Structure 1
């Protein structure tokens, strides 16, 4: 009976944390190369991190890979995003339990999240870009990577997270970080010289 109760409690915690991520994590307000967004939730030993970024930040381009070189870049970027130990340095008590990387549909003019540009106000004449039928219109294509990482942390007193995205992917210039931890929420702008988050009471 005790084991069943504990498992149920763990399930409730995971569901609550996942809900917080979905509610708190608003999409990027604009598709801006060089910028990304991190949403962090820490609750009862569960640390969830959601990353949103234009594909250009991690690949250098946002169109479907056209040759072997670009296909290799795409594969390497995807493999790196699936290896959070390369992207974040965490408190030693944290152990990775889940990684989920949403693969963009390469070859389309927009990412899966079509709502990013649905107003069209900042993209006049988007439908009329020359070369959309061929490969010359790559500047009109948009792709995004979305990744979610889940850690279990034995030490719940505080969490220190060094964000190494700027070193791994030089395309990142600025990351907006928002987090919920210890019944508080806050935010910060990260860059190459200020890239560490400390979650503490």
Structure 2
């Protein structure tokens, strides 16, 4: 029996793991973001990576006063990370630092570019009772309605796990 080139290609694609079909890690997908959660002793580290379109609806240098205001409002909201990320209340975690990086948050955003600007956010919490830290409620969807999916990777004292969050499912547990 002779197989067509198409059926061979289809069979090979079916053997690939699903993430390989979705594109390389770090693929630029509007409406989606990635969150890495690391629990290290009493420290909870969160690393957010997302296209700016998922947060503000555009990725080019702001062209209007409204777009400049949208970028500023987004940055101000993310700096209030203790209102967006809620670790297990019993762990008594306190926000220690927030760092936001994007070419569009620079005092003079670059003109031109490839039109695919991202945002990288780093959020650090210190927890008084790290043993009680078991989950994280993520409020990004309420603050940024263009965000539809959040792929989460967790590394903690009980090992590694992954979850996909959505506006309907906003909590990751470990």
- The two structures have a TM-score, normalised by structure 2, of 0.77
Q: Is the 8 A contact 1:86 1:168 kept in 2?
A: no
Q: CA deviation at 1:28?
A: 4.5
Aligned to 1:177: 152
- 1:54, 1:143 within 8 Å by CA — same for their partners in 2? yes
Specify every segment of 5 or more residues in structure 1 that has no aligned partner in the other structure, as ranges: 1-26, 111-139
Inter-partner Cα distance in structure 1 for 2:77 and 2:139: 12
2:6 corresponds to = none
1:48 aligns to 2:45 (yes or no) = yes
Partner of 1:96: 95
Unaligned runs of 5+ residues in structure 2 are 1-23
Q: CA deviation at 1:160?
A: 2.3
Q: Which residue of 2 aligns with 1:154?
A: 128
Using the size of structure 1 for normalisation, the TM-score is 0.67
Over the residues paired in the alignment, what is the CA RMSD in angstroms? 1.7
Are residues 28 and 107 of structure 1, via their aligned partners in 2, closer, same or farther at CA, if it must alter by over 3 Å? farther
Trace 1:2-151 onto structure 2 (pairs within 5 A).
28-92=25-89, 93-105=92-104, 106-110=109-113, 141-151=115-125
- Seen in structure 2, the aligned counterparts of structure 1 residues 109 and 52 have a Cα distance that, compared at 3 Å, is farther
Provide the rounded CA distance (Å) in 1 between the counterparts of 2:158 and 2:86. 23
Q: What secondary structure, in the 3-state scheme, does the structure 2 residue paired with 1:58 have?
A: helix
Distance in 2 of aligned mates of 1:183 and 1:58: 32
SS where residue 97 of structure 1 aligns?
Answer: strand
Deviations 1:94-129 (A, max 9, x none): 01111111132444555xxxxxxxxxxxxxxxxxxx
Change (3 A) 1:28 1:78: farther
CA distance in 2, matches of 1:150, 1:192: 23
Does 2:165 match 1:166?
A: no
